[in-house]
Amino acid sequence: MDMLFAKTVVLAASAVGAGTAMIAGIGPGVGQGYAAGKAVESVARQPEAKGDIISTMVLGQAVAESTGIYSLVIALILLYANPFVGLLG
Amino acid sequence: MDMLFAKTVVLAASAVGAGTAMIAGIGPGVGQGYAAGKAVESVARQPEAKGDIISTMVLGQAVAESTGIYSLVIALILLYANPFVGLLG
Amino acid sequence: MDMLFAKTVVLAASAVGAGTAMIAGIGPGVGQGYAAGKAVESVARQPEAKGDIISTMVLGQAVAESTGIYSLVIALILLYANPFVGLLG
Amino acid sequence: MDMLFAKTVVLAASAVGAGTAMIAGIGPGVGQGYAAGKAVESVARQPEAKGDIISTMVLGQAVAESTGIYSLVIALILLYANPFVGLLG
Amino acid sequence: MDMLFAKTVVLAASAVGAGTAMIAGIGPGVGQGYAAGKAVESVARQPEAKGDIISTMVLGQAVAESTGIYSLVIALILLYANPFVGLLG
Amino acid sequence: MDMLFAKTVVLAASAVGAGTAMIAGIGPGVGQGYAAGKAVESVARQPEAKGDIISTMVLGQAVAESTGIYSLVIALILLYANPFVGLLG
Amino acid sequence: MDMLFAKTVVLAASAVGAGTAMIAGIGPGVGQGYAAGKAVESVARQPEAKGDIISTMVLGQAVAESTGIYSLVIALILLYANPFVGLLG
Amino acid sequence: MDMLFAKTVVLAASAVGAGTAMIAGIGPGVGQGYAAGKAVESVARQPEAKGDIISTMVLGQAVAESTGIYSLVIALILLYANPFVGLLG
Amino acid sequence: MDMLFAKTVVLAASAVGAGTAMIAGIGPGVGQGYAAGKAVESVARQPEAKGDIISTMVLGQAVAESTGIYSLVIALILLYANPFVGLLG
Amino acid sequence: MDMLFAKTVVLAASAVGAGTAMIAGIGPGVGQGYAAGKAVESVARQPEAKGDIISTMVLGQAVAESTGIYSLVIALILLYANPFVGLLG
Amino acid sequence: MDMLFAKTVVLAASAVGAGTAMIAGIGPGVGQGYAAGKAVESVARQPEAKGDIISTMVLGQAVAESTGIYSLVIALILLYANPFVGLLG
Amino acid sequence: MDMLFAKTVVLAASAVGAGTAMIAGIGPGVGQGYAAGKAVESVARQPEAKGDIISTMVLGQAVAESTGIYSLVIALILLYANPFVGLLG
Amino acid sequence: MDMLFAKTVVLAASAVGAGTAMIAGIGPGVGQGYAAGKAVESVARQPEAKGDIISTMVLGQAVAESTGIYSLVIALILLYANPFVGLLG
Amino acid sequence: MDMLFAKTVVLAASAVGAGTAMIAGIGPGVGQGYAAGKAVESVARQPEAKGDIISTMVLGQAVAESTGIYSLVIALILLYANPFVGLLG
């Protein structure tokens, strides 16, 4: 079989897989927005605690970011460090 | 196999993958809108805290933006810096 | 292989990808509408804060708009600055 | 390959893509309706603020309209200014 | 290739695309119904504000109608002013 | 190509498209039912405002009906005034 | 091409389209049930307003019925007055 | 073409269409159950109004039943009075 | 064409259609469970009204059962009184 | 045509149909769980009414079970009393 | 036709059908968890009624389990007592 | 037919079926998490009832686990005790 | 038939099945997050009960983890201890 | 059969499977965001308990992270330690 065809199929599947993986971003988007809304509400009630509120929000959001980053990592690997091409050789 | 055919399949898959990745934008859209609604409500109750509220909202939204940006990045890479074409060569 | 066929497949996939990307507009639509509803409610309660409320709402909505704009950008690139055609040549 | 066939495939994909893009209209429809409901409620409570309420509602809805308009723009481009036909030539 | 076949494929895709575009009507339907319910509730509480309530409701619904109309426009164009047929010629 | 085959494909696609378009009826059905429920509740609390309540409800529902009617229109056009058959000739 | 084959394809598509159209019945079913529940609650609180409540409920439900009836109409046309068969001839 | 084959395809499509149409039953099932729950709650609070409550509930449910019955009608027509077979002849 | 093949296709489609139709059971299941939960709550508050509560619940559930039964009927017809086999002959 | 092939297709479709039908079990599962939760809450508040509560819960759940049982019946018929095999002969 | 091929198709369909049937487990999982949460809440409020609460919870959950068990039964029959193999012979 | 091909198809279908069955795990995951959240809330209010609360939570979760375990069992059977291979022989 | 082809199909199906199984992780993710949110809320109200709260939360989450772990186990078996390869031999 | 073709199919399926697995990230994203929002709210009310709140939040989120990590692990194995390639040899 042709190596070029093999690469074509694997890379096309990688492109679709990378796109599918990014859908996970719906979750962190909704969750972080909820946290942001709660932070805004809280700052308005206790402006003196603004520092604590924002640092808590950012910390919480940073953890909630994780699955979005995982998806980004998988997509970037599929794009730039595609290990499948080496496995074909 | 023809290099042109290989490029065709990989680029078509990239176009579909880029479109699919953008769907993740549903999440930040809903989340940031929730934060904006809470900010509006809070500003009306404590107009004197408007600065704090808006800076908190924008910060929170900026983090919630992240997964949408990740999707944009992946889509732009697929469009303008498509690494698959190089891998085919 | 025929260059015309290659362009045909890539451009057809681009059309479908552009349409799929626009679906992300569901998110900002719902989120911004929520913010608008909260703003309306708040203006009725504190009409004297109307300026603050509207500027907050518009700022919040502008950020929530972002993922919708990202999708629009990707779709427009696919339509008017389709980079895939150049990659085929 | 036949240019007619190429146009056929690209235009058929454009028709499907235009239809898919319009689905984004679900979001603004729900969001704007929520804003309208809140405006109605508020007008009944503070009829004297009707002007402020309606102007806020329309402004908020106008922004929420955006992603629906983006979809319309993409669909209209696909229909009336289809750039793909030129790219095929 | 046969012009008749080309028209057949494009028009069949247009019919499916028109049907898909109409699905966006779910959004305005739900949103406008929410606004109508709020208006009914408000009229019962402040019958003396009936004029204001109804004019607000109809204005709000009219804006919420927009994405439904966009879909109708796209579907009607696909049916009666199908630009693709001209592009094929 | 055979004209009969062309008509067959286009009309079959029209039948599927008409069925798909009707799905939009889910939205008005839910929204109008919500309005009806609110009207019933309101009539029970202020029976003396029954006329105002019902006229508001029917007006609001009539507007909410619109996207359902749009779908019906598109479906009926596809069935009885199918413009595609003329375009094929 | 065989007229029988043409009819077969068009009628099969009509059967699938009729079935798909009926799915819209989910919306009125949920909405009318909500109205019925509100009516039951209201009758229990103000039994003396039973006549008003029931007439309001039935009127509201009758309007909410509309999109279900539209679907039924489209399905019945597809079954008993299928206009496509005439268009084929 | 063989009449038997034509009947086979049309009837198979009718069977699938009948099954799809029945899915609409989800809506009335949820809606009627909501009404029943409200009736039970109301009877417990005002047992003396049991007659009114039950008659209201049954009337409301009967209307909510409608889209389920429409689906049943379409399915039964597809099964026992399939008009497509006659159209094929 | 072979009568056996015709029967095979139609009966296979009937089996799939019967399975699809049963999905409607999700609706009554959720709705009846809601009614049951409300009945349990009410019995605990007014044990002396247990008879009324249970008879109301069962009556309401019986009506809510209807769409589930319709699906069962369609499925049983497809299984045991399959009218399509006769139509093929 | 081969009778074995006919049986194969019909039985394979029956297996898929039986699996699909069981999905309806989601509805009763959620609904009965809601009823159970309400019963637990009620028993804790009125332990002296435990008998009434449990008998009401079980009765309500038994009715809510019905659509799950219908699905089971259809699946079992497809498995053990498959009427299609006889129809093929 | 080959008996081995017949068995292969039927058993493959059985494997997919068994997997599909298990999806029904989502319903009881959510419902039983709701009941467990309510039980935990109730035990904390009335620890002296722990016995009654737990017995009610387990009874309610046991009934809610039913549709999950039905799915398990169908899957196990498809795996271990596959009646289709006998029907093929 | 080749026994190896038969095994291949059946085992591939088993792998897909096992993966599909595991999706049921969404239900218990949500439900058990709800129970855990309620337990945490209750422990904070009545720390002296911690033993009762935890034992109730674990018991309730254990029952809610059941459909997840059923799926695991079906998947493990498909993997390690695949009865289909024996049926093929 | 070729053993290599058999392995290819079975292993490709295993890869897809493993990916599908991991989707179950949505459930525990949502549920455990709910529990964590309730724990945070409770700790803020009763900081002196922090130990009890955290141990309850972790215990509850650990059980809710189970279906996620089941999916992981099935996926790992499909990857590292794929029993299907042995069954093919 | 060609070893290269075998690798191609298995690796393409691995790419799609890895992308599908990442979708599970929706769950932890929503759940962790809920926890973060609750933490922000709590810190604003009891700033003196900030340490306890944050440590509880991070602990709870860390557990909720698990299913996202499982998906990442499966995806990374599919990418970098793909065991299927060895099984083919």
Comparison of pLDDT for I2 and L78, the residue scoring more: L78
> What pLDDT is attached to residue A42?
93
Ranges of chain C whose pLDDT falls below 50: none
Average pLDDT, chain K: 91
Per-residue model confidence as pLDDT tens for chain D (89 residues): 578 888 889 999 999 999 999 999 999 999 999 999 999 999 999 898 899 999 999 999 999 999 999 999 999 999 888 888 888 86
Which chain F residue lies closest to E66 (C-alpha atoms)?
F67
| Residue I89 maps to a domain | no
Does the pLDDT at position G37 exceed 70?
yes
Average pLDDT score over residue span I17-43: 94
Rg (Cα) of chain J, in Å, rounded? Answer: 20
Rg (Cα) of chain A, in Å, rounded? Answer: 20
Which chain I residues touch J28 with a CB distance below 8 Å?
Answer: 25, 29, 32-33
Does the pLDDT at position N1 exceed 70?
no
Question: For residues H42, H47, H51 and H53, what is the CA-based torsion angle, rounded to 10 degrees?
Answer: -10
Q: What percent of chain G has pLDDT over 90?
A: 72
Average pLDDT score over residue span L77-82: 87
A67 to each of A72, M30, N27, how far by Cα in Å? 9, 13, 9
| Interface contact flag, H32 G33, Cβ < 8 Å | yes
Average pLDDT, chain C: 91
Report the CATH number that the domain containing residue G51 is assigned in CATH: 1.20.20.10
- Looking at this predicted complex, what is its ipTM? 0.88
> What pLDDT is attached to residue K64?
93
Find, among M17, K12, M82, the residue nearest to L9 by Cα.
K12
| Residue A84 maps to a domain | no
Predicted model pTM:
0.92
> What pLDDT is attached to residue C34?
96
- Structure letter (DSSP) for residue G23: G
Q: Give how far the C-alpha of residue I21 lies from the chain's centroid of Cα atoms, to the nearest Å.
A: 8
| Residue N53 maps to a domain | yes
Which chain E residue lies closest to C26 (C-alpha atoms)?
E27
Which chain L residue lies closest to K33 (C-alpha atoms)?
L31
L2-17 per-position pLDDT tens digit: 788 888 899 999 999 9
Which chain H residues touch F33 with a CB distance below 8 Å?
Answer: 31
| Residue E59 maps to a domain | yes
Q: Is K33 on the interface with M (CB under 8 A)?
A: yes
> What pLDDT is attached to residue L60?
94
F54-77 per-position pLDDT tens digit: 999 999 999 999 999 999 999 999
Contacts of N36 (CB under 8 A, 6+ apart): A31, A32, A34, A35, A38, A56, A57, A59, A60, A61, A63, A64, N57, N61
CA angle E78, E83, E89 (to 5 degrees): 135
Q: In a 3-state reduction of DSSP, which class is residue B35?
A: helix
Q: In a 3-state reduction of DSSP, which class is residue N40?
A: helix
| Residue K53 maps to a domain | yes
Report the domain count for chain E: 1
Average pLDDT, chain M: 91
Q: Is G17 on the interface with I (CB under 8 A)?
A: no
Which chain A residues touch N54 with a CB distance below 8 Å?
Answer: 56, 59
| Interface contact flag, N31 L33, Cβ < 8 Å | yes
> What pLDDT is attached to residue I1?
57
Contact status, residue I70 vs residue H68, Cβ threshold 8 Å: yes
Q: What percent of chain A has pLDDT over 70?
A: 98
L39-51 per-position pLDDT tens digit: 999 999 989 889 9
Average pLDDT score over residue span G29-49: 93
Q: Identify the H or E element spanning F23.
A: none
| Interface contact flag, M8 N6, Cβ < 8 Å | yes
Q: Is C25 on the interface with A (CB under 8 A)?
A: no
The region, left, alpha or beta by phi > 0 then psi within -120 to 50, assigned to residue E64 is alpha
| Residue M14 maps to a domain | no
Does the pLDDT at position G1 exceed 90?
no
Q: Is B31 on the interface with N (CB under 8 A)?
A: yes
Average pLDDT score over residue span N41-49: 91
Does the pLDDT at position A1 exceed 70?
no
Does the pLDDT at position M1 exceed 60?
no
Contact status, residue H72 vs residue I74, Cβ threshold 8 Å: yes
Confidence of residue L1 (pLDDT cuts 50, 70, 90): low
E3-18 per-position pLDDT tens digit: 888 888 999 999 999 9
Average pLDDT, chain A: 91
Contacts of N55 (CB under 8 A, 6+ apart): none
d(C-alpha B6, C-alpha B17), whole Å: 16
Average pLDDT score over residue span I34-46: 93
Does the pLDDT at position G85 exceed 90?
no
Contact status, residue C27 vs residue B64, Cβ threshold 8 Å: no
Q: In terms of residue numbers, what domain contains J71?
A: 28-79
J20-67 per-position pLDDT tens digit: 999 999 999 999 999 999 999 999 998 888 999 999 999 999 999 999
Does the pLDDT at position F6 exceed 90?
no
| Residue I8 maps to a domain | no
Which chain L residues touch N67 with a CB distance below 8 Å?
Answer: 29
Contact status, residue I37 vs residue J40, Cβ threshold 8 Å: no
| Residue L86 maps to a domain | no
d(C-alpha G79, C-alpha H17), whole Å: 11
